[in-house]
C-alpha cells in the first residue's frame, strides 16, 4: 500500500503529466465553493469572480497558444497563417481582455520558472491582445459572421435535400439537378472562404453551454 | 489602504499539522488552511494570469503544488481556486456552520484519492477501423453522386459517434468497478497536443490500496483500444475536487 502511494505521487509531481487544461478544469470549476458574507466585501467579490470567469473563458486561448489541436482542427498556433496570427492581434472580437497590471507579476511563494518554461512552447511569449476598434477587424468579423450563417443554412438545406432523396419524393432528374446545385454552392462557399482566408472551423459560433453552432 | 483576505487552500481534520507560512483557522477538530493576501496584489496576479498562459500555469500550479504537499500529510477537502475569505471570524463561523458537511467529506476522502482519465481519439485511425459499407457512386450523375456522398458522410459520422460512445462506456465500466465513486465530467479541452479529439473525461475516487490495480487496468484498456486510435491518459493523485458536492 505504501509503495502504491509513492508511485502515484510521482505521476503527478515528477513526471509532469498534468496539463494546464487539467489544472484549469479542477481548480477553477471544482472544489468547495464558499458563499455569503464571509467572502470579502460585495465589490471585491465581483472583481474576484469576474477575473475567475475570464480566466476560465480564456481556456480556448490557452489551447491555441499552446498549439493544442492539430490535425484538421486548425487550432495550432504553430501553423502560423493569417488567421492564426489575427487571433493574437489586438482587436480580436472574440476576446475581451482586462487592462494588464502596471507592475510585474509576483507570485506569492516564488514560482519555479524552469517547469513553466519547459511546458510552454517557445514561440508563445505574449498572447495578450487588448480590445480596440480596428475597422479592418470589424469588417473581417462581420464577413465571418455572415458566412457562418450562410454555411449553416447551406448545410441545413443540404440535409433536407438528402432526407427528400431518401424518402423517394423526387424524380431522378430532380435529384440530379438538386445535387448539382448543392455541389456548386459548396464550391462557391469554398471560394469565399479562400478569399477571406477562413477555414471550415472558423465558420462556427461558440454558444457557450449549448456548445457550438455546427 | 491595503485590504487583506484569507486565500484558502483546504479544510483538514488534523489540528497537529505543521506547515510553514500558512494561516490556520480552527473549529473543534477542523482546520482551514490558507494564507493572508493583499487583495490588490491578488487581483494583479490574476490579471497577469489572464495576460499570459505561462503566468496562469504558474499561479495554478503553485496552488496545486501546495495541495499536493498537504495531501501527503493528511486528508484534504479542497476549495475552488480563488476563494478568499474576509476575515478570521468569518472563516471560523464558516467552519462552524459547515462542520457536519466537512466531517462527512473528510470521512469519505480518507485513504482515497481522485484520479482523472481522459479518452482521446485519433479520428483518422478510428474511422479507418469502421466498416461503413460505402456504395459505389460510379454510374450515377454528378449531382446524385454528390448527394449520395454527403449522405454517406453523414452516416459515417453517426456510426463514428455511436462507436465512440460505446467504447467510452466500456472503458468507464471497466474502471468504475475499482472505484468508490466516479463522475463523468466535462472539460474545456477539446484536443490533445497531438491533435486527437477529447472524447470522454472521467474522475474516480479510489482507495489508495487499489490505485496500482486501477492504473494496471487503465494500461490494459489503453492497449485494448489502441488499434482503434483511442488513447487513455491518467492523472493523479488529485485532491477530490470532483467529489465535494
Q: Is B55 on the interface with A (CB under 8 A)?
A: yes
Give B-chain residues touching A73 at CB under 8 angstroms: 190-191, 195
Shortest Cα distance from A72 to chain B (angstroms)?
A: 8
What pLDDT is stored for residue A18 in this prediction? 60
pLDDT digits (tens, 9 = 90+) for B33-84: 999 988 888 878 877 777 787 888 888 889 999 999 999 999 999 998 888 8
Inter-chain touch B147–A111, beta carbons under 8 Å: no
Other C-beta atoms lying within 10 Å of the C-beta of residue A43: 7
Closest CA to A151 of A85, A92, A199, A207: A199
Alpha carbon distance B61, B8 (integer Å):
15
Shortest Cα distance from B133 to chain A (angstroms)?
A: 17
Give B-chain residues touching A183 at CB under 8 angstroms: 142-143, 146
Count CA atoms within 13 Å of residue B112 on its CB side.
23
Give B-chain residues touching A61 at CB under 8 angstroms: 53
Shortest Cα distance from B173 to chain A (angstroms)?
A: 22
Give yes or no for a contact between B170 and B230, defined as CB atoms under 8 angstroms apart.
no
Task: Give buried/exposed letters for A76-85 (b at 16+ CB in 10 A, else e).
Answer: bbeeeeebbe
- Average the pLDDT over each of A43-52, A131-140, B181-190, B196-205 and give the range with the smallest value: A43-52
Give B-chain residues touching A170 at CB under 8 angstroms: none
The answer for B 89-128 residues in CB contact with A (under 8 A) is 90-91, 93-94, 113, 116, 118, 123-124
pLDDT (tens, 9 = 90+) of chain B, 245 residues, equals 568 888 899 999 887 777 666 888 889 999 999 999 888 888 788 777 777 878 888 888 899 999 999 999 999 999 988 888 888 888 898 899 999 999 999 999 999 999 999 999 999 999 888 877 777 777 889 999 999 999 998 888 889 999 999 999 999 999 999 999 999 998 877 888 888 999 999 999 999 999 999 999 999 999 999 999 999 999 999 999 999 97
What pLDDT is stored for residue B75 in this prediction? 96
Give φ, ψ of B14 to 5 degrees. Answer: -125, 105
Give yes or no for a contact between A169 and B134, defined as CB atoms under 8 angstroms apart.
no
Q: Which fold does the domain B112-243 belong to in CATH?
A: Alpha-Beta Plaits (3.30.70)
pLDDT at residue A16 is higher than 70: no
The answer for B 57-96 residues in CB contact with A (under 8 A) is 57-66, 68, 72, 77-86, 90-91, 93-94
Grid-cell match 459548396, residue found: A186
Please give the residue of chain B at the shortest CA–CA distance from A208: B188
Inter-chain touch A63–B60, beta carbons under 8 Å: no
Q: Which of B50, B52, B85 sits opposite A98 (nearest CB)?
A: B50
Q: Which of B147, B187, B188 sits opposite A178 (nearest CB)?
A: B147
Handedness of CA A88, A94, A95, A96 (dihedral sign): positive
pLDDT digits (tens, 9 = 90+) for A54-77: 555 555 555 555 555 433 332 222
Decide: pTM greater than 0.90: no
Number of CB pairs < 8 Å for A and B? Answer: 289
pLDDT at residue A137 is higher than 60: yes
Distance of CA B147 to the CA centre of its chain: 42
Inter-chain touch B209–A32, beta carbons under 8 Å: no
Please give the residue of chain A at the shortest CA–CA distance from B50: A55
Q: What is the ipTM of this complex?
A: 0.70
Paired residues of B6 in beta bridges: B36, B85
Give the β-pairing of B77-78 and B4-12. antiparallel
Return all residues near B86 (Cβ < 8 A) that are at least 6 apart: A37, A38, A39, A40, A41, B5, B6
Q: Which of B53, B66, B150 sits opposite A127 (nearest CB)?
A: B53
Residue ranges covered by each domain of chain B: 4-109, 112-243
Alpha carbon distance B207, B109 (integer Å):
9
Alpha carbon distance A90, A126 (integer Å):
12
Inter-chain touch B143–A179, beta carbons under 8 Å: yes
**E strand or H helix at B156, and its extent?**
helix B142-176
Provide, for chain A, the percentages of residues in helix, strand and coil under a 3-state DSSP scheme, each rounded to the nearest 5: 60, 0, 40
Inter-chain touch A56–B215, beta carbons under 8 Å: no
Amino acid at each position: 500500500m505504501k509503495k502504491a502511494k509513492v508511485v502515484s505521487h510521482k505521476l503527478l509531481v515528477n513526471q509532469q503529466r498534468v496539463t494546464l487544461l487539467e489544472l484549469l478544469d479542477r481548480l477553477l470549476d471544482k472544489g468547495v465553493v464558499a458563499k455569503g458574507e464571509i467572502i470579502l466585501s460585495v465589490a471585491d467579490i465581483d472583481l474576484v469572480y469576474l477575473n475567475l470567469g475570464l480566466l476560465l473563458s480564456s481556456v480556448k486561448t490557452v489551447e491555441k497558444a499552446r498549439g493544442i489541436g492539430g490535425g484538421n482542427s486548425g487550432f495550432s498556433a504553430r501553423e502560423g497563417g493569417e488567421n492564426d496570427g489575427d487571433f493574437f492581434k489586438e482587436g480580436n472580437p472574440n476576446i475581451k481582455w482586462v487592462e494588464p497590471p502596471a507592475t510585474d507579476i509576483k507570485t506569492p511563494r516564488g514560482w519555479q520558472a524552469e517547469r513553466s518554461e519547459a511546458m510552454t512552447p517557445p514561440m508563445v511569449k505574449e498572447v495578450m491582445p487588448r480590445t480596440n476598434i480596428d475597422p479592418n477587424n470589424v469588417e473581417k468579423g462581420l464577413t465571418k459572421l455572415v458566412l457562418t450563417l450562410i454555411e449553416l443554412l447551406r448545410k441545413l438545406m443540404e440535409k433536407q435535400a438528402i432526407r427528400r432523396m431518401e424518402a423517394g419524393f423526387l424524380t431522378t432528374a430532380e435529384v440530379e439537378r438538386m445535387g448539382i446545385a448543392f455541389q456548386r454552392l459548396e464550391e462557391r462557399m469554398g471560394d469565399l472562404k479562400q478569399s477571406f482566408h477562413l477555414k471550415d472551423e472558423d465558420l462556427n459560433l461558440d454558444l457557450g453551454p449549448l456548445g457550438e453552432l455546427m | 489602504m491595503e485590504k487583506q483576505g484569507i486565500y484558502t487552500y483546504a479544510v483538514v481534520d488534523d489540528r497537529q499539522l505543521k506547515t510553514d507560512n500558512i494561516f490556520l483557522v480552527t473549529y473543534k477538530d477542523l482546520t482551514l488552511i490558507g494564507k493572508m493576501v493583499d487583495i490588490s496584489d491578488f487581483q494583479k496576479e490574476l490579471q497577469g494570469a489572464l495576460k499570459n498562459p505561462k503566468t496562469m500555469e504558474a499561479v495554478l500550479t503553485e496552488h496545486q503544488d501546495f495541495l499536493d504537499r498537504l495531501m501527503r500529510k493528511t486528508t484534504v477537502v479542497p476549495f475552488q481556486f480563488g476563494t478568499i475569505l474576509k476575515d478570521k471570524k468569518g472563516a471560523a463561523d464558516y467552519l462552524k456552520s459547515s462542520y457536519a458537511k466537512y466531517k462527512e467529506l473528510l470521512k469519505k476522502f480518507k485513504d482515497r484519492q481522485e484520479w482523472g482519465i481522459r479518452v482521446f481519439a485519433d479520428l483518422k485511425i478510428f474511422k479507418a477501423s469502421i466498416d461503413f459499407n460505402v456504395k459505389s457512386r460510379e454510374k450515377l450523375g454528378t449531382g446524385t453522386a454528390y448527394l449520395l456522398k454527403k449522405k454517406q458522410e453523414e452516416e459515417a459520422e453517426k456510426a463514428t459517434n455511436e462507436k465512440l460512445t460505446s467504447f467510452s462506456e466500456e472503458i468507464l465500466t471497466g474502471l468504475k468497478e475499482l472505484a468508490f465513486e466516479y463522475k463523468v465530467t466535462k472539460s474545456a479541452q477539446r484536443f490533445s497536443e497531438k491533435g486527437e479529439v477529447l472524447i470522454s473525461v472521467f474522475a474516480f475516487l479510489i482507495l489508495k490500496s487499489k490505485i496500482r490495480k486501477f492504473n494496471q487496468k487503465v494500461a490494459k484498456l489503453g492497449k485494448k483500444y489502441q488499434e482503434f486510435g483511442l488513447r487513455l491518459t491518467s492523472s493523479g493523485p488529485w485532491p477530490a475536487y470532483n467529489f465535494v458536492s
